[in-house]
């Protein structure tokens, strides 16, 4: 679809310079730019329209133990530093909810650069900041959950500027993982299928989605996931757009599907509710003119696809 890469976390065209990973050419130098990651959150710059805070190297908060090379642009080199070992004593603890509204302040950053959960401001950042944050968030999650070799159980070491994990005991190497997920815009004439998962914020509805299984095509996964969750049979399926979704390591494949049935049978082990919503009600809700339900959050691919469906621009090339 036209403008597919304008979705949040896509389209910044960062030069990742993968050929430089692990070399002295990507050792941090004076003036290089760093984003700061802490337990899935990022320091934001409230003086710069809630952008990801960019710190110039050297800086006392940058941990030389956990540095990730992100990419280059002309004379600028981007890195990320993980300071997840820092304990913000006397401050709000991460609440672990779907949408964490807590914020933490590090004395070396000051009051204008708090740590925020990425969902809180993902629709406000530039394309470049979004790509940097999505990359760093997924990679640090992978690093922080991969301390031991999956083959022999020995401790591992991080190499290749943060992009590879090696085991000295058995010689195996592992690389960042990505979990493919289909997210489906399923329509039945002027209606779209929306659902709410168990544990979501009150009133929130979005497109159905699910993890792909080994041996599946995108089309087969769309049909299987839709039928499993809603009992709706899907015919024609086509790919629309993708979105890196670092919560924690997914790649969302946005697809369109035409429903061949309309009677909903909810799988209550996964979904709290599923319903058909017509264009008028969706438009009024997303425009904030009626309070029928809470739509998918701006910045998500679900919100992106629903806006294009309302504007009849899904088929533009």
Q: Are residues 92 and 204 in the same domain?
A: no
What's 289's domain CATH number?
A: 3.90.79.10
pLDDT in tens, 130-165: 999 999 999 999 999 999 999 999 999 999 999 999
**pLDDT of amino acid 196:** 97
Q: How confident is the model at residue 317 (pLDDT cuts 50, 70, 90)?
A: low
pLDDT in tens, 266-291: 999 999 999 999 999 999 999 999 99
Tell me how far CA of residue 313 lies from CA of 157, 216, 242, 304, 310, in angstroms: 47, 28, 16, 11, 8
> Is 137 inside a domain boundary?
no
> Is 5 inside a domain boundary?
no
Tokens of 35: 């984003």
> Is 143 inside a domain boundary?
no
Q: What is the mean pLDDT of residues 25-36?
A: 96
> Is 155 inside a domain boundary?
no
Output the pTM of the full model. 0.94
Q: How confident is the model at residue 316 (pLDDT cuts 50, 70, 90)?
A: low
Q: Are residues 185 and 297 in the same domain?
A: yes
pLDDT in tens, 197-242: 998 989 999 999 999 999 999 999 999 999 999 999 999 999 999 9
Distance CA 137, CA 160 (A): 17
> Is 271 inside a domain boundary?
yes
> Is 220 inside a domain boundary?
yes
Is the confidence at residue 63, as pLDDT, over 90? no
Among 66, 100, 130, identify where a domain stops. Answer: 130
> Is 192 inside a domain boundary?
yes
Total count of domains within the chain:
2
Residues spanned by the domain of 195 = 179-310
**pLDDT of amino acid 255:** 98
Q: Are residues 31 and 88 in the same domain?
A: yes
**pLDDT of amino acid 222:** 98
Q: What is the mean pLDDT of residues 310-316?
A: 88
Contacts of the segment 28-31: beta carbons below 8 A, 24+ positions apart? 28/57, 28/58, 28/62, 28/67, 28/77, 28/79, 29/57, 29/77, 30/56, 30/57, 30/58, 31/56, 31/57
Among 101, 130, 159, identify where a domain stops. Answer: 130
**pLDDT of amino acid 98:** 73
């Amino acid at each position: 679809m036209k403008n597919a890469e304008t979705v949040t976390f896509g389209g910044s065209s960062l030069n990742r310079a993968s050929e430089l990973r692990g070399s002295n050419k990507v050792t941090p130098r004076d003036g290089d730019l760093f984003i700061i990651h802490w337990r899935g959150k990022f320091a934001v710059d409230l003086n710069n329209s809630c952008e990801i805070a960019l710190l110039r190297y050297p800086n006392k908060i940058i941990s030389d133990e956990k540095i990730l090379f992100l990419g280059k642009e002309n004379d600028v080199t981007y890195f990320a530093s993980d300071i997840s070992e820092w304990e913000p004593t006397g401050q709000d603890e991460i609440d672990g909810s779907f949408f964490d509204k807590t914020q933490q302040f590090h004395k070396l950053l000051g009051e204008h650069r708090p740590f925020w959960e990425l969902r809180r401001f993902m629709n406000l950042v530039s394309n470049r900041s979004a790509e940097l944050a999505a990359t760093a968030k997924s990679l640090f999650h992978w690093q922080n959950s991969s301390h031991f070799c999956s083959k022999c159980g020995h401790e591992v070491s991080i190499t290749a500027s943060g992009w590879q994990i090696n085991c000295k005991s058995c010689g195996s190497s592992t690389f960042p993982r990505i979990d493919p997920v289909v997210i489906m815009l399923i329509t039945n004439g002027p209606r779209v299928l929306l659902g709410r998962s168990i544990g979501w914020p009150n009133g929130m509805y979005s497109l159905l989605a699910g993890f792909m299984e080994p041996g599946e095509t995108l089309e087969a996964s769309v049909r299987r996931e839709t039928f499993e969750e809603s009992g709706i049979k899907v015919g024609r399926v086509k790919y629309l757009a993708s979105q890196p979704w670092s919560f924690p390591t997914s790649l969302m494949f946005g697809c369109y599907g035409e429903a061949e049935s309309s009677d909903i049978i909810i799988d209550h082990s996964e979904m709290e509710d599923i319903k058909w919503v017509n264009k008028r009600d969706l438009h009024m809700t997303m425009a904030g003119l009626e309070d029928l339900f809470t739509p998918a959050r701006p910045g998500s691919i679900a919100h992106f696809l629903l806006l294009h469906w309302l504007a009849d621009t899904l088929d533009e090339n």
